[in-house]
């Protein structure tokens, strides 16, 4: 195991011990569509990254699936179409919210609920609650930083 893999595994382990939920709805774009996947755990598309200096530097866990991962999820039938990329981009253009927040809004509304922007930390609550509590992440999202894990004692 490389040093970077060991660091990533350590961060994931620490994150999972304090996360409110380990159920995820991941989103990504591929060609003309936005897809989503419902899963448990940080299984695919996560990588070790550097946290930005505004987030205290150090390492971070980032959800950023490769083209190959996206194709595998689509071809296996695990990924489902949420909307067209054009619709998603129009929603983003007509909003004050970022891509991750637009994705969270669309997923929440798909589940028959009204979306409200919040700032609940990952260790205190979920992004969406149906029959399960869900954390929602869109491609290129920072899942957690090393600084946050250190701050909350994980």
pLDDT recorded at residue 149? 96
Are 60 and 144 in contact by the 8 Å Cβ rule? The answer is yes
CB atoms within 10 A of CB 76: 8
- Give the integer Cα–Cα distance in Å for 78 and 117: 28
Mean pLDDT of the chain: 95
pLDDT recorded at residue 1? 67
Are 25 and 134 in contact by the 8 Å Cβ rule? The answer is yes
> From residue 138, how far is each of 10, 22, 46, 152 by CA, in Å?
22, 16, 11, 24
Tokens of 103: 């994705």
Buried (b) or exposed (e) across 121-141, using 16+ Cβ within 10 A?
Answer: ebbeebbbeeeeebbbbbbeb
- pLDDT above 70 covers a percentage of the chain that reads 99
Phi and psi for 132 in degrees, rounded to 5? -135, 160
pLDDT recorded at residue 43? 80
- Give the integer Cα–Cα distance in Å for 34 and 44: 17
What residue ranges do the domains of the chain occupy? 3-151
pTM, full prediction: 0.92
- pLDDT above 90 covers a percentage of the chain that reads 88
pLDDT recorded at residue 14? 97
pLDDT at 28 over 90: yes
Q: Which residue has the higher pLDDT, 70 or 43?
A: 70
Residue-wise pLDDT for 66-87, tens only, equals 999 999 999 999 999 999 999 9
CB atoms within 10 A of CB 17: 11
Residue-wise pLDDT for 83-141, tens only, equals 999 999 999 999 999 999 999 999 999 999 999 999 999 999 999 999 999 999 999 99
DSSP string, 117-153: -----TTT--SEESSSEEEEEETTEEEEEHHHHHHTT
């Amino acid at each position: 195991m490389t040093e970077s893999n060991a660091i990533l595994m350590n961060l994931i382990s620490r994150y999972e011990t304090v996360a409110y939920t380990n159920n995820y709805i991941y989103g990504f774009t591929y060609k003309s569509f936005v897809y989503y996947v419902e899963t448990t755990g940080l299984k695919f598309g996560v990588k070790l990254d550097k946290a930005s200096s505004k987030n205290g530097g150090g390492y971070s866990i980032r959800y950023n699936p490769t083209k190959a991962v996206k194709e595998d999820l689509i071809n296996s039938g695990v990924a489902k179409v949420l909307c067209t990329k054009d619709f998603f981009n129009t929603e983003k253009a007509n909003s004050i919210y970022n891509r991750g927040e637009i994705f969270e809004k669309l997923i929440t509304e798909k589940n028959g609920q009204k979306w409200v922007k919040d700032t609940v930390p990952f260790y205190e609550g979920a992004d969406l609650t149906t029959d399960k509590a869900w954390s929602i992440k869109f491609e290129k999202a920072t899942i957690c930083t090393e600084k946050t894990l250190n701050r909350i004692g994980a």
